[in-house]
Amino acid sequence: MPKTGLSCTEKTLLTLSLLQQTEMPKGKKAKGKKVALAPVVVKNQEAKKVVNPLFEKRPKNFGIRQDIQPQRDLTCFVKWPCYIRLQRQRAILYKWLKVPPAINQFTQALDPQQPPTASACPQPVLRAGVNTVTTLVENKKAQLVVIANDMDPIELVVCLPALCRKMGVPYYIIKGKARLGPLVHRKTCTTAAFTQVNSETKELWRSWWKLSEPTTMTDMMRSVATGSKICGSRCQAGKGRG
The CATH number assigned to the domain holding 203 equals: 3.30.1330.30
- Considering only residues 210 and 98, tell me which one the structure prediction assigns the higher pLDDT: 98
Is the pLDDT confidence value at 147 over 80? yes
Is the pLDDT confidence value at 198 over 80? no
Contact 146, 195 (CB under 8 A): no
Report yes or no on 203 lying in a domain: yes
Q: What are phi and psi of 2, to 5 degrees?
A: -70, 145
Exposure class string for 214-239: b at 16+ Cβ within 10 A, else e: eeeeeeeeeeeeeeeeeeeeeeeeee
Report yes or no on 2 lying in a domain: no
- Considering only residues 161 and 206, tell me which one the structure prediction assigns the higher pLDDT: 161
Order of strands across the sheet that contains 144-148: 126-128, 191-194, 144-148, 171-174
Task: Output the pLDDT for position 168.
Answer: 87
- Reported as a single tens digit per residue, the pLDDT across 47-88 is 778 888 888 888 999 999 899 999 999 888 999 999 999 999
Contact 180, 149 (CB under 8 A): no
Report yes or no on 146 lying in a domain: yes
Residue numbers of the domain that contains 173: 126-215
Using alpha carbons, list the distances in angstroms from residue 110 to 87, 99, 102, 140, 164: 21, 20, 17, 36, 42
Using alpha carbons, list the distances in angstroms from residue 192 to 145, 155, 201: 6, 17, 17
| Residue ranges in 114-175 assigned as alpha helix (H) | 130-138, 160-167
Average pLDDT over residues 132-160: 90
Report yes or no on 68 lying in a domain: no
Highest mean pLDDT among 22-26, 203-207, 217-221: 203-207
Number of domains in the chain: 1
Report yes or no on 150 lying in a domain: yes
Is the pLDDT confidence value at 215 over 50? no
Report yes or no on 141 lying in a domain: yes
Task: Output the pLDDT for position 225.
Answer: 46
Highest mean pLDDT among 6-20, 202-216, 218-232: 6-20
